């Protein structure tokens, strides 16, 4: 059975260019048709009015040619200036009947067209215009008017052949009938050409877009020179591709970095295990081997947990519980949590808090973690005996929590990158110096996400070998 296709579906399958041109041609035809009908109606009306006006003029002329002679009889004496009725085209006849219906005068016209029509038989009727359809199809327009001249009654009739009007209108119709389709065809062709030109960039963009794959995200769509809708579309798509490229790049980097990070403890576990198995050892040595392996497993667990948390957080799958609190309380809490680490590292942890409360709204746990990460970093990178200051301020609708250290600092060229995942200024420096110092380069990435999720930002300033300041800036409820 042949597949039945609905006309709408078939229409939609046509190209945009064809649909535009067909739609344009159809609406133009409709418009022209309505316009022609209107023009035709107005022309017909105007011509008819014109005919009636001329009939009226003829009757007036006839009226001025009627006089009563000495005996009181009506006579026909046309003025010398009056036109020769016989030569007036379309004027068929004029006649004047006396009150007793006898014929006083008659001129036959229409000879200019090479023929005349027999006048109608006289009938008494009320003054005015009427139209008569002749047996052979011709239509006559007649004005009949009764008058009184010097007390004598008379009736004047003037007839006009409407044939000419019809002839004129017919040729007008012919012009329209031939001209309109020609105009529509010409306009449609022009429309088709224009649509083709306007849509050409779309074809180019489609072709180029087909070539863009995950491996070739650096390709961009050609942007038309005119910054019209298509230009804007191309630019918007290119922006989208740029963002996609960046996300893909970050994803690739993240995967590579994560694999690298996971491989290090695994390598340690393997080599420690291999050494342990190679030759017999004392129990103490075996214990040591197992401890080292467990330490690395612990490190692996911590890394995977942190990674999972960060991925969940950045994927927007962590719901933040927003409640109001005093930023000073957060600083005190984070300080009390981390003071043990500071003591272990021989670093003095100082609090610099204002007397007035600093109200903010946010998720306590997430922001506390961010603060702890900053203070932990500050302690890790401070020499023994140095101090780390945790402070809070409020200004112009912004609440700021700052962590200042007098440690090694961060070189200016690396400062913007410290928030990247897995980025470590100096991997050797970070991993050495005891277990705690072996960060994964994720602490600042997590802190940055946490603060940004609260509509805030983290600012960092640092001078190498003099120290760094990290500031968490949040929108504040106070002034």
> What does the binding site for ligand ADP look like in residue numbers (CB under 6 A)?
373, 377-378, 381, 405, 407-410, 418, 423-426, 430, 439-445, 468
Cα–Cα separations (whole angstroms), residue 466 to 192, 355, 383: 72, 29, 11
Q: How far is the CB of 441 from ligand ADP (least distance, A)?
A: 4
Question: Do residues 310 and 446 lie in contact, with contact meaning Cβ atoms separated by under 8 Å?
Answer: yes
Q: How far is the CB of 372 from ligand ADP (least distance, A)?
A: 11
H/E element holding 38? helix 16-64
Q: What is the phi/psi pair of residue 423, to 5°? A: -80, 130
End-to-end distance of the chain based on CA atoms, in angstroms? 78
Query: Of the two residues 158 and 442, which places its CB atom closer to ligand ADP in the complex?
Result: 442
Q: How far is the CB of 444 from ligand ADP (least distance, A)?
A: 3
Q: How far is the CB of 321 from ligand ADP (least distance, A)?
A: 24
Tell me the residue nearest to ligand ADP as measured from the CB.
439
Q: How far is the CB of 242 from ligand ADP (least distance, A)?
A: 26
| Nearest CA among 118, 133, 65, 122 for reference residue 99 | 122
Distance CA 451, CA 474 (A): 7
Q: How far is the CB of 403 from ligand ADP (least distance, A)?
A: 7
β-bridge mates for residue 145, sequence order: 156
Query: Of the two residues 201 and 409, which places its CB atom closer to ligand ADP in the complex?
Result: 409
Cα–Cα separations (whole angstroms), residue 429 to 291, 436, 439, 440: 24, 12, 10, 12
Query: Of the two residues 110 and 443, which places its CB atom closer to ligand ADP in the complex?
Result: 443
Structural tokens at position 345? 């590292």
Distance CA 146, CA 149 (A): 10
Q: How far is the CB of 399 from ligand ADP (least distance, A)?
A: 21
Structural tokens at position 467? 């120290």
Q: How far is the CB of 466 from ligand ADP (least distance, A)?
A: 10
Q: What is the phi/psi pair of residue 401, to 5°? A: -115, 120
Structural tokens at position 264? 């290090």
Q: How far is the CB of 306 from ligand ADP (least distance, A)?
A: 9
Query: Of the two residues 110 and 265, which places its CB atom closer to ligand ADP in the complex?
Result: 265
Strands 387-395 and 348-352 turn out to be parallel
| Nearest CA among 77, 133, 138 for reference residue 105 | 77
Query: Of the two residues 116 and 430, which places its CB atom closer to ligand ADP in the complex?
Result: 430
| Nearest CA among 223, 218, 24, 54 for reference residue 142 | 54
Tell how far CA 14 is from the center of its chain. 23
What is the chain's alpha carbon radius of gyration, rounded to the nearest angstrom?
52
Q: How far is the CB of 270 from ligand ADP (least distance, A)?
A: 24
Cα Dmax for the chain: 169
Query: Of the two residues 58 and 261, which places its CB atom closer to ligand ADP in the complex?
Result: 261
Query: Of the two residues 141 and 421, which places its CB atom closer to ligand ADP in the complex?
Result: 421
Q: How far is the CB of 314 from ligand ADP (least distance, A)?
A: 14
| Nearest CA among 235, 298, 237, 241 for reference residue 268 | 298
The angle at the Cα of 140, spanning 137 to 143, to the nearest 5 degrees, equals 165
Query: Of the two residues 158 and 418, which places its CB atom closer to ligand ADP in the complex?
Result: 418
Query: Of the two residues 144 and 373, which places its CB atom closer to ligand ADP in the complex?
Result: 373
Query: Of the two residues 371 and 468, which places its CB atom closer to ligand ADP in the complex?
Result: 468
Beta-carbon contacts of residue 434 (< 8 Å; ≥ 6 apart):
none
Query: Of the two residues 163 and 405, which places its CB atom closer to ligand ADP in the complex?
Result: 405
């Amino acid at each position: 059975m042949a597949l039945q296709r609905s006309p709408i579906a078939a229409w939609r399958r046509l190209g945009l260019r064809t649909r535009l041109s067909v739609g344009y041609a159809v609406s133009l035809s409709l418009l022209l048709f309505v316009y022609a009908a209107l023009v035709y109606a107005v022309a017909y009306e105007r011509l008819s009015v014109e005919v009636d006006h001329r009939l009226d003029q003829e009757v007036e002329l006839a009226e001025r040619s009627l006089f009563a002679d000495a005996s009181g009889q009506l006579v026909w004496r046309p003025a010398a200036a009056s036109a020769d009725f016989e030569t007036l085209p379309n004027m068929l006849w004029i006649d004047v009947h006396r009150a007793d219906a006898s014929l006083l005068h008659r001129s036959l016209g229409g000879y200019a067209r090479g023929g005349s029509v027999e006048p109608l038989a006289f009938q008494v009727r009320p003054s005015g215009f009427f139209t008569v359809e002749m047996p052979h199809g011709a239509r006559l327009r007649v004005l009949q008017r009764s008058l009184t001249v010097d007390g004598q009654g008379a009736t004047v009739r003037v007839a006009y052949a409407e044939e000419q009007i019809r002839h004129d209108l017919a040729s007008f119709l012919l012009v329209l009938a031939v001209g309109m389709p020609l105009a529509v065809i010409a306009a449609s062709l022009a429309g088709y050409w224009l649509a083709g030109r306007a849509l050409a960039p779309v074809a180019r963009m489609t072709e180029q877009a087909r070539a863009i794959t995950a491996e070739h995200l650096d390709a961009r769509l050609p942007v038309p020179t005119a910054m019209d809708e298509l230009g804007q579309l191309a630019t918007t798509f290119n922006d989208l591709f740029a963002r996609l490229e960046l996300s893909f790049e970050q994803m690739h980097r993240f995967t590579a970095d994560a694999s690298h990070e996971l491989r290090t403890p695994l390598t340690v576990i393997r080599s420690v295990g291999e050494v342990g198995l190679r030759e017999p050892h004392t129990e103490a040595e075996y214990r040591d081997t197992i401890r080292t392996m467990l330490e690395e497993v612990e490190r692996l667990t911590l890394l995977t947990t942190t990674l999972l948390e960060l991925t969940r957080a950045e994927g927007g799958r962590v719901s933040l519980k927003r409640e109001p609190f005093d930023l000073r309380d957060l600083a005190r809490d984070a300080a009390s949590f981390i003071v043990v680490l500071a003591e272990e590292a021989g670093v003095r942890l100082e609090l610099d808090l204002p007397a007035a409360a600093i109200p903010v709204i946010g998720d306590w746990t997430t922001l506390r973690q961010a603060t702890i990460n900053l203070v932990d970093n500050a302690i890790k990178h401070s020499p023994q005996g140095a101090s780390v200051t945790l402070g809070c301020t409020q200004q112009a609708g912004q609440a700021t929590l700052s962590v200042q250290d007098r440690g090694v600092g961060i070189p200016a060229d690396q400062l913007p990158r410290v928030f990247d995942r897995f980025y470590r200024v100096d991997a050797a420096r970070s991993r050495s110096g005891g277990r705690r110092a072996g960060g994964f380069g994720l602490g600042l990435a997590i802190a940055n996400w946490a603060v940004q999720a609260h509509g805030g930002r983290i600012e960092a300033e640092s001078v190498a070998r003099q120290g760094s300041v990290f500031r968490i800036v949040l929108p504040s409820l106070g002034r």
